[in-house]
Structure 1
Amino acid sequence: MSIHVLLTGILHKNAVSRISQNGNAYVTCSVRVEQDGQTIWANVICFDEAAQAELLRLNAGDALSVQGKATPKVYMKDEEARPSLQVTATGVLSLQPKTQAKSQPAKTRPRQTAKPFGTVDRNEDEKTADDGFDDPLPF
């Protein structure tokens, strides 16, 4: 039995990129989801390239949301049964701002100055040429 989920939690350890026996790339990670004082662990596997890239960009401790199909599981810890999820992710959303490398300066666009409405920039050749658009509009 699997259910479609959207979970939000904290990346436990950095995601790990792996290669399957047939040569396909995939990424695995663990996400800690806390709700009402309880922790549920989600073991995530991801085959989607965009979602893989997002998981690999994140660091342990970063907040994220994962979308995909989940299968409920139970694991034993200290002789106590605890719930977990096995999630096949179809989408990953970082809840952290993207950081720029310090060696790369931020890209800035040149500042543009506003011009009054209706003014047109023309080079000198166009200013003297007759555009043929002097006729009044018929509407």
Structure 2
Amino acid sequence: MMDALIAGKLHARPEERTSAKGGAFATARLRAVAGDGESLFVNCIAFEPQAMAALLALDVGDAVSVAGSITPKVWTDREGTTRPALDIVVARVLTSYHVQRRCGAMAPGASGGPQQRPHQGSGPDDGSEPLDF
């Protein structure tokens, strides 16, 4: 098993399903662009409640990044050409909503975000700017 972080756009609306034993899970299909410019389909399945909720909140065409354990696969298209694909068990989901929320939280003075620190240069007039990491 390999761990990966994959970014792409949702090809189909995520679906919530129930296993034969009654366990809930979510599935999604992601289209990612491979290094050669070809599209690569990524079949996503999420069991973790947070990952499930994040996937189910998305719609077709939404940009998303998923992290988890991947398994490489191949499939055959209508013309008989074999193409690569990936299956991923999603552990984490990152969307533009998460990025905007995190950036807002990290803004100086934001609730829970870093506060402006006093100037920490080597001297009072050294011309350096404070670094906010």
State whether TM-score is above 0.5: yes
Unaligned 5+ residue runs, structure 1?
99-139
Distance in structure 2 (CA, Å) of the matches to 1:24 and 1:12 = 25
The alignment partner of 1:74 has SS state of strand
1:23 is aligned to 22
Question: 1:39, CA displacement in angstroms?
Answer: 0.8
Runs of 4+, deviation exceeding 2 Å:
95-98
TM-score (norm 1): 0.66
For 2:88 and 2:74, the matched residues in 1 are separated by: 14
Q: Is the CA contact (8 Å cut-off) linking 1:13 and 1:30 kept in structure 2? A: yes
Name the structure 2 match of 1:56. Answer: 56
Letter in 1 for 2:56: L
2:89 aligned partner, one-letter code: T
8 Å Cα contact 1:42-1:87 kept in structure 2: yes
Q: CA deviation at 1:28?
A: 0.3
How many equivalent residue pairs? 97
> In structure 1, the residue corresponding to 2:12 is in which secondary structure?
coil
Displacement after TM superposition at 1:96 (Å) = 4.5
How does 1:29-108 map onto structure 2 within 5 Å? 29-35=28-34, 36-77=36-77, 78-96=79-97
RMSD over aligned Cα atoms: 1.5
After TM superposition, the score normalised by the length of structure 2 is 0.69
Secondary structure, aligned partner of 2:13: coil
1:95 deviates by 2.3
Q: Give 2:6's aligned amino acid.
A: L
Rounded Cα–Cα distance in structure 2 between residues aligned with 1:6 and 1:95: 15
What letter matches 1:68 in structure 2?
G
Query: Is the Cα contact below 8 Å between 1:65 and 1:95 reproduced in 2?
Result: no
